[in-house]
Amino acid sequence: MFFDTHAHLDTPVFDSDRNEVFERAQSAGVTRFVNPAFDTVSSARACALAETRPNVWAAVGVHPNDADSVIKNEGCLCDIFRLASMPKVVAIGEIGLDYHWDTSPRQVQSNVFIEQLSIARKTNLPVIIHCRNGVSTTTDNALEDLLAILFDRPWLESRVLLHSFAGDLDQARRAIGRGYMLGLGGPLTYPKSLFTRDVAQYVPLEYIVLETDAPYLPPQKVRGKRNEPSYMPAVAEKISELRAIDIEEVARVTTENALRFFGIGDGLVL
Ligand SMILES: [Zn+2]
């Protein structure tokens, strides 16, 4: 059974066929989900979805692309702090830095990111990180800026999930050295993702979790379509191929990792 650690199933793009999406996921063996958020509205929606489905958990937070607008409109992160104490919230996320779109000034991104790290500390929740580099390898290296912020906070050890990890093997090793988890999804199957395939092949499986990032980042064979959790086996297959292990082992270990990371008991029979 697969655990999709990153699926935006609350978003309106699933409004017309959400039940079918869950049914197809179930048939593909994808039975548990964490639904992360990117602003206050989606945080509330993620919590509402988790309330109605026993196998969905929520993460609440403000994405770096939305950092500026949230601060301008609401002035604080009070709603995120409030929602973080809802019973099915298992993480703060997705939060981080994005130098690709640069839709919020970088200083605002980093302030909002750091403030949400303290919310995670106060609420004793792990964090789901979004990080995307810009074009320049020197001035736009968001991942290095981000790791510096995280490494400065030793209490985050084993409490960080780097979603859609796109760094190289050296950055992966530094991250897992702190007990961080790496989320792998559709991009692993893209022709250009050489670093990501290295990571999937050489990092111990105990540090890897699976994700789709639905509706975004579909695997290569359905690229251009709306992504959904039922496509997750394509990612697991790629990992099993790279590591020369059974896909069942990939499913079992990554699911155990996700349950452990999010502190979800396995009482739920699915
Ligand atoms: Zn996402």
CA distance 57 to 265: 12
Task: Report the CATH number at residue 242.
Answer: 3.20.20.140
Cβ burial of 16 (10 Å; 0-12, 13-18, 19+) is exposed
In a domain, 269, yes or no: no
In a domain, 268, yes or no: no
Distance (Å) from CA 139 to ligand 1 centroid: 24
- Token pair, residue 138, equals 């020197």
In a domain, 192, yes or no: yes
Distance (Å) from CA 98 to ligand 1 centroid: 12
Closest residue by Cα to residue 193 from 213, 169, 222, 211: 169
In a domain, 76, yes or no: yes
Predicted local distance difference test score (pLDDT) of residue 268: 57
132 three-state secondary structure: strand
CA distance 46 to 226: 19
In a domain, 270, yes or no: no
Predicted local distance difference test score (pLDDT) of residue 267: 53
pLDDT tens for the chain, 270 residues: list them: 999 999 999 999 999 999 999 999 999 999 999 999 999 999 999 999 999 999 999 999 999 999 988 888 887 899 999 999 999 999 999 999 999 998 899 999 999 999 999 999 999 999 999 999 888 777 889 999 999 999 999 999 999 999 999 999 999 999 999 999 999 999 999 999 999 999 999 999 999 999 999 999 999 999 999 999 999 999 999 999 999 999 999 999 999 999 999 999 865 545
Distance (Å) from CA 36 to ligand 1 centroid: 7
* DSSP string covering 45-98: HHHHHHHH-TTEEEEE---GGGHHHHHHHHSS-HHHHHHTTSTTEEEEEEEEEE
Bridge-partner residues for 34, per DSSP?
Answer: 57
In a domain, 94, yes or no: yes
Whether this model's pTM surpasses 0.75: yes
Closest residue by Cα to residue 258 from 63, 111, 59: 59
In a domain, 59, yes or no: yes
Distance (Å) from CA 232 to ligand 1 centroid: 15
Distance (Å) from CA 196 to ligand 1 centroid: 17
Distance (Å) from CA 124 to ligand 1 centroid: 22
* Count of structural domains, the chain: 1
Predicted local distance difference test score (pLDDT) of residue 250: 98
Distance (Å) from CA 231 to ligand 1 centroid: 16
Domain that holds residue 34: 2-262
Q: What share of the chain is helix, strand, coil (3-state, %, to 5)?
A: 50, 15, 35
Distance (Å) from CA 228 to ligand 1 centroid: 12
